[in-house]
Amino acid sequence: MSDEFGQEQAIRKLTPGKLVIASHNPGKVREIAALLGPYGIEPISAASLDLPEPEETGTTFIANAELKAMQAADLSGLPALADDSGLCVDALGGDPGLFSARWAGPDKDFDFAMRTVWEGVEAKGPDAGHDAHFICALALAWPDGHVEAFEGRVDGTLVWPPRGPHGFGYDPMFQPIGYDISFGEMDPDKKHAMSHRADAFAQLVKAVF
């Protein structure tokens, strides 16, 4: 990262100990906790600390991840890691994108959200295509306001009907390139090794550990 004068600053290292996972999504917390396991990190969910969920006002995945991580670090007094991720569908102009969670409504009904995505693509006609990708931004923040951010991506296609009991969110309708199964059908360990979150996390690990 650069300082206000454009000079490169060294990336701050993360030491073993407690780390707040700034998410109220149990699926995300489980995935991130599993990825952190080998590094001596003790993950604590934001929900277990009764931390509020900030309004996601950023215009990019990284901006929203930084906003969530910085608030959690400030309120908890601990380093905090936040994720902002979404499904971007080419035929829908990149939607639901930043608003992927909102498409599920207040009840977090992702069956409804997946149906809405598929119906939107179908409404575009037979030439619309089913190309899509997941983006994951990870932001790691400290109580003093320092923050590091990383972004990962995985490309694939939409499938219908949704398939598989694993994962969360839009996973059952997303089939990554090079595979004949959806994220919802994929063993969690396999998904952890190649997903958009894994891509971003690999960058984070290389930088801060």
> What CATH code is carried by the domain that includes residue 51?
3.90.950.10
CB contact set of 65 (below 8 Å; sequence gap of 6+) = 58, 82, 83, 84, 137, 138, 139, 149
Q: Which residue carries 């490309």 as its tokens?
A: 155
Quickly state the pLDDT bin for 37 (edges 50, 70, 90): confident
Domain membership of residue 11 (yes or no) is no
26 has pLDDT over 90: no
Range of the domain at 143: 17-208
98 has pLDDT over 50: yes
5 has pLDDT over 80: no
Residues annotated catalytic, as ranges: 84
Domain membership of residue 121 (yes or no) is yes
Supply the DSSP symbol for 156.
E
Neighbours of 26 (CB within 10 A): 11
| Under 8 Å between Cβ of 156 and 178 | no
Identify the pLDDT of residue 8.
52
Domain membership of residue 10 (yes or no) is no
Quick one: average pLDDT of 129-136?
Answer: 97
CB contact set of 7 (below 8 Å; sequence gap of 6+) = none
Q: Report pLDDT digits (tens) over 171-186.
A: 999 999 999 999 999 9
Quick one: average pLDDT of 92-104?
Answer: 96
10 has pLDDT over 80: no
Domain membership of residue 4 (yes or no) is no
Identify the pLDDT of residue 35.
83
Domain membership of residue 6 (yes or no) is no
Mean pLDDT score of the chain? 92
Quick one: average pLDDT of 8-26?
Answer: 87
Domain membership of residue 179 (yes or no) is yes
Q: Is the dihedral of CA 97, 99, 105, 106 positive or negative?
A: positive
Quick one: average pLDDT of 74-83?
Answer: 96
Task: Give the number of domains in the chain.
Answer: 1
Domain membership of residue 101 (yes or no) is yes
pLDDT cut 70: percent of the chain above it: 96
Domain membership of residue 38 (yes or no) is yes
